[in-house]
């Protein structure tokens, strides 16, 4: 087997208590986000939390701490788009329990021209000490907001 294939792993792993705990933390955090319950979000977020949004978005960049997350969350519907529908398609656990991916399908409406767009968003959750330390978003089919 080539070294490239060996580096890809087997795709199989044993789910541990840490996998389960991190998944539960992610689920509590997301529920708190949509409930706008910042106190509950704080219980799930590491003090060094970073939210990383793609630069192609009007609000793209790195937002630090729960205050940074809140700033971004409040900014999105003012400068970019309104999310009309969001659905979790899949949650992918990895061999490393401190990394998890969530695949979302979104339908949104641009604020600048009322155009609707749909796309897939992958969120990578990173954990430290049982808390969410980073959320990295990867958008597919991002409209050209620079026009």
Check which CATH number belongs to the domain holding 21 and give it.
3.10.450.50
Q: Say what the pLDDT of residue 1 is.
A: 45
Half-sphere exposure of 65 (CA within 13 A, CB side): 3
Q: Say what the pLDDT of residue 6 is.
A: 54
How does residue 93 score in pLDDT terms, banded at 50, 70 and 90? very high
Does residue 117 belong to any structural domain of this protein? yes
Does residue 8 belong to any structural domain of this protein? no
Tell me the pLDDT tens digit for each residue of 96-141: 999 999 999 999 999 889 999 999 999 999 999 999 999 999 999 8
For residues 26 and 138, what is the distance between their CA atoms, to the nearest angstrom?
17
Does residue 118 belong to any structural domain of this protein? yes
For residues 32 and 41, what is the distance between their CA atoms, to the nearest angstrom?
6
> Cβ(66)–Cβ(38) under 8 Å?
yes
Does residue 145 belong to any structural domain of this protein? no
Number of domains in the chain: 1
pTM of the model: 0.89
Which helix H or strand E contains 33, and what residues bound it?
helix 17-35
Domain range for residue 124? 16-139
Quote the Cα angle for 14-16-18, to 5°: 145
Does residue 68 belong to any structural domain of this protein? yes
> Cβ(54)–Cβ(60) under 8 Å?
yes
Does residue 24 belong to any structural domain of this protein? yes
Tell me the pLDDT tens digit for each residue of 8-42: 666 677 889 999 999 999 999 999 999 999 999 99
């Amino acid at each position: 087997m080539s070294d490239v294939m060996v580096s890809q792993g087997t795709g199989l792993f044993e789910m541990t208590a840490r996998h389960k705990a991190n998944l539960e933390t992610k689920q509590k955090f997301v529920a708190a986000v949509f409930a706008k319950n910042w106190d509950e979000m704080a219980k799930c977020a590491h003090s060094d939390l970073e939210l990383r949004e793609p630069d192609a978005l009007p609000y793209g960049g790195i937002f630090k701490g729960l205050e940074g997350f809140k700033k971004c969350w409040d900014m999105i519907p003012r400068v970019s788009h309104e999310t009309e529908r969001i659905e979790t398609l899949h949650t992918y656990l990895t061999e490393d329990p401190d990394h998890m991916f969530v695949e979302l399908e979104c339908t949104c409406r641009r604020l600048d021209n009322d155009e609707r767009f749909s796309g897939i968003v992958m969120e990578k959750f990173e954990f430290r000490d049982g808390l969410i330390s980073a959320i990295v978003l990867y958008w597919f089919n991002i409209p050209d907001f620079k026009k």
